[in-house]
Amino acid sequence: MKHIFNKGTNPNKPTFLMLHGTGGNELDLLPLAGVIDDEANVLSVRGNVLEQGMPRFFRRLSEGVFDEEDLIFRTNELNEFLNEAAEKYEFDRDNIIAIGYSNGANIAASLLFHYQHALKGAILLHPMVPRRGITLPDLANTSVFIGAGTNDPICSPEETKELQQLLQQANANVELHWGNRGHQLTMGEVESAKEWYLKLG
């Protein structure tokens, strides 16, 4: 997968997996990684799917309706890519924290839904429920921050709470942050995500 890897200055820090929103690319979220922890490794990936020229991490049939077969295929592809990248760049495969926005948050959530050890933690900014009707792996020891907007037209508050519940039922440790906004990224949620990250230790 097309990506950027920036080695961090502190080997004890995690690797941030940056996952952009629809129409974005691997450059978009680099500043965000620096705000959360500028000593961590950064692996920023471009989605392999194009929708009218806009990069995404998996296909969708329409707004909010995912192509499940492609979602499963792309989630596996990303998980395999993480295995390869950890070897190539010599970072700890068990210490990856995903930071995803919108479509990127959805593929990060899908990694959590399908693979027990894909991520140590995740900052999901405006995520949706990636799949329904499946049993999640045991996510004990996995920490998740969800940034959501009370007026988000793409990810409704009900869906946000459903995602929180599904992750908690799988034993993940979930913190939910509400902003009184829509689908856009806000500085408030980034600051809350940073506080959450600092508490992880």
194 closest CA partner among 125, 134, 110, 133 = 125
Cβ 19 vs Cβ 98: under 8 Å: yes
Return d(Cα 3, Cα 25) in angstroms, integer. Answer: 9
* Residue 102 touches ligand MLT, criterion: CB under 6 A: yes
Residue 153 in contact with ligand MLT, rule: CB under 6 A = no
Give the whole-angstrom CA distance, residue 67 versus residue 51.
Answer: 12
Catalytic residue among 110, 152, 177, 192: 152
Minimum distance, C-beta of residue 59 to ligand MLT, in the bound complex (Å): 9
Contact call for residues 169 and 136 (beta carbons, < 8 A): yes
Stretch of 59-67, 80-88, 136-144, 145-153 contacting ligand MLT, by CB under 6 A: 59-67
Separation between Cα atoms, residue 115 and residue 76, nearest integer Å? 9
Say whether 183 is catalytic. yes
The answer to the question of residue 160 lying near ligand MLT (CB under 6 A) is no
How far apart CA 201 and CA 187 sit, in angstroms, is: 22
Regarding 60 and contact with ligand MLT (CB under 6 A), the answer is: yes
In the complex, minimum distance from the CB of residue 140 to ligand MLT, in angstroms, rounded to a whole number: 27
Q: Residue 109: how many CB atoms within 10 A of its CB?
A: 26
d(CA 9, CA 193): 21
Nearest approach, Cβ of 127 to ligand MLT (angstroms)?
9
- Our finding on whether 21 is near ligand MLT (CB under 6 A) is yes
Footprint (CB under 6 A) of ligand MLT, residues 106-125: 106
Which residue of the set 3, 92, 117, 183 is catalytic?
Answer: 183
**What sign does the dihedral 5-9-15-20 (CA atoms) show?**
negative
Instruction: Select the residue whose beta carbon is closest to ligand MLT and give its number.
Output: 103
Task: Output the smallest distance, CB 180 to ligand MLT, in A.
Answer: 20
Q: Is position 152 annotated as part of the catalytic site?
A: yes
Say whether residue 136 binds ligand MLT (CB under 6 A). no
| CA–CA gap between residue 87 and residue 82 (Å, rounded) | 9
Spot the catalytic one: 102, 110, 143, 192: 102
Residues acting as catalytic residues: 102, 152, 183
Binding site for ligand MLT (CB under 6 A): 21-22, 60, 63-64, 102-103, 106, 128, 154
